[in-house]
Amino acid sequence: MKREEKIILPEINLKLCNGCGICELVCSRQVIYLQNGIPKLIKPEACLFCANCEEACPTGAISIPFVISWEQSDFNPNDQKA
């Protein structure tokens, strides 16, 4: 059985962002960097999905999507007999 790998990264809604820079301060992996007041994910591969940035953002601009991944199996519902 194989498990599908999905890349999940924090999403930043720039319409809600006020450029405070708190997300950059709380990120222990330096994933987020503010450039001209705009937060950017400069090292996405280093993200731990800890959600510190999401919890600390005062405007709710950051969200970490929750993704359900399905494990593949040999089960085929069409094989079921009534």
Determine, following the binding rule CB under 6 A, whether residue 21 of this chain makes contact with ligand SF4.
yes
Contacts of 44 (CB under 8 A, 6+ apart): 7, 9, 31
- For residue 61, the SS3 value is coil
CA distance 57 to 64: 12
Regarding 63 and contact with ligand SF4 (CB under 6 A), the answer is no
Residue 49 as a binder of ligand SF4 (CB under 6 A): the answer is yes
According to the binding rule CB under 6 A, does residue 19 interact with ligand SF4? yes
The token duo for 47 is: 């993200």
Please identify which residue in 29, 42, 69, 72 interacts with ligand SF4, judged by CB under 6 A.
29
Q: With binding defined as CB under 6 A, does residue 43 bind ligand SF4?
A: no
